[in-house]
């Protein structure tokens, strides 16, 4: 231990590895193009486009439809028969 460490105690306290908080899975997404780590909610708000390199991430079909379709305007159409009327 040096004389400087005796005079000035360290401001950063080492943490016990058992006390570390775990980060939930899927909270951060890494851009495959520029390798920037992005917060998932920020990426969703930006329509799955990386703000750094404008790389378009993959979006699932159900999520894409939910973004474009209005949930209040959903109406069902009457089902028609495929048989010919001859």
Q: What is the pLDDT of residues 8-31, one digit of tens each?
A: 877 777 777 777 777 788 899 999
- Put simply, whether the predicted model's pTM sits higher than 0.95 gets the answer no
Please tell me the total count of domains within the chain: 1
Residue 77 within any structural domain of the chain: no
Q: How many CA atoms lie within 13 A of 3 on its CB side?
A: 0
Does the residue 36 lie in any domain? Answer: yes
- Tell whether 40 is covered by a domain: yes
For residue 50, is it within any domain? yes
pLDDT of residue 23: 75
Residue 47, in any domain of the structure: yes
- How many CB atoms are closer than 10 A to CB 66? 10
Domain coverage including residue 63: 24-67
How far apart CA 19 and CA 34 sit, in angstroms, is 33
Is pLDDT above 70 for 86? Answer: no
Residue 61, in any domain of the structure: yes
51 pLDDT above the threshold of 80: yes
Contacts of 47 (CB under 8 A, 6+ apart): 67
Distance CA 39, CA 29 (A): 6
């Amino acid at each position: 231990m040096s004389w400087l460490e005796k005079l000035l105690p360290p401001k950063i306290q080492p943490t016990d590895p058992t006390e570390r908080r775990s980060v939930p899975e899927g909270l951060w997404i890494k851009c495959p193009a520029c390798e920037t780590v992005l917060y998932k909610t920020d990426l969703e708000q930006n329509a799955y486009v990386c703000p750094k390199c404008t790389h378009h991430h993959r979006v699932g079909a159900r999520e894409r439809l939910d973004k474009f379709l209005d949930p209040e305007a959903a109406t069902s159409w009457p089902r028609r028969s495929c048989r010919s009327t001859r």
